[in-house]
Amino acid sequence: MLTTLSYSPNTADLFDAIAGLAGAVFLDSGSPYGQQGRFDIISACPYITLTTQGLTTIIETENGILNSDEDPFLLVKNYLKQATFTPVPAPENLPFIGGAIGFFAYDLARRLEKLPTLAQQDLPLSDMVIGIYDWAIIIDHHAKKSRLIQQNNSRKTGAICADVLKKLQQSVVTTHHQPVKLLADFQANFTPQTYAAAFNRIQTYLRQGDCYQVNLAQRFQAPVAGSPWQIYKLLRQHNPAPYAAFLNHPDASVLSLSPERFLQVHDNHVETKPIKGTQPRDPDPVSY
């Protein structure tokens, strides 16, 4: 079922009403602060949630909770196969009619290959959190249209969509608007000296052929007052990105402001557009 909604150039105003719902997600093109993206996708209350930590995946459905030690990628694939997503009639141009939205953490790679355990896991973050959604609001900023797509894989979907529409019509905001305030200065986990030493060590690895690319990242952290959604709204104003996202999950909220699309798959064609690592190598490897 497809329902036409009133269009707003700032989807964050719509998401305000549902940001506090379980599993609320906002795939954000950055409008109106940025003009590179086209579509925004918002949803909440997935009818299936898969959460992986280590060797166990917790599967939450309408019928209860299951634990599985199967390959988490295969679990997501199999649950998607069981879903029924009816395509919308032409000429509607919707990038999403239902499916999986979530995140894979770095440690999920341990399900694909054996890696040494060297780093301390000091953040209580799941290795994978995937929600399978059968409804979404799609905002097309080029066509200036907003539509709600409802698939009804879940017995509760109709009631959820009716509640969401009511919240949007009444402009009901479910999030707590505590003012955002930084409570202390940001602290890095590198000093300038240790960062320089790590950089020099990487240069040695590169020259010796032990690696070809290294992402030398450092963490900046600080205590802050305010809800994650309010923080995200401030960030998107100052740094709009065409592939940004906000995900509200029980163990963590994900605030992503990515300017690059890693992969796109369409009609059996895979396209990648990473920003880093795209500079051609110097034809003379010695001078490089």
Q: What is the number of residues in the chain?
A: 288
Query: For the ranges 57-61, 166-170, 185-189, 214-218, which has the lowest average pLDDT?
Result: 166-170
- The distance from CA 155 to its chain's CA centroid, rounded to whole angstroms, is 26
Catalytic residue list contains 92 = no
Tokens of 147: 């539509």
CA distance 122 to 47: 30
Note the pTM of the prediction, 2 decimals: 0.84
- pLDDT at residue 173, rounded to an integer: 52
pLDDT in tens, 55-112: 999 999 988 999 999 999 999 999 999 988 888 776 677 889 899 999 998 888 888 8
pLDDT for residue 175: 47
Of residues 90 and 166, the one with the higher pLDDT is: 166
Task: Identify the active-site residue in 62, 70, 260, 271.
Answer: 260
Is the separation of the CB atoms in 129 and 102 below 8 Å?
yes
Q: Which amino acid would we find at residue 198?
A: A
Local confidence band at 263 (pLDDT 50, 70, 90 cut-offs): confident
114 labelled catalytic? no
Contact predicate 25/44, CB 8 Å: yes
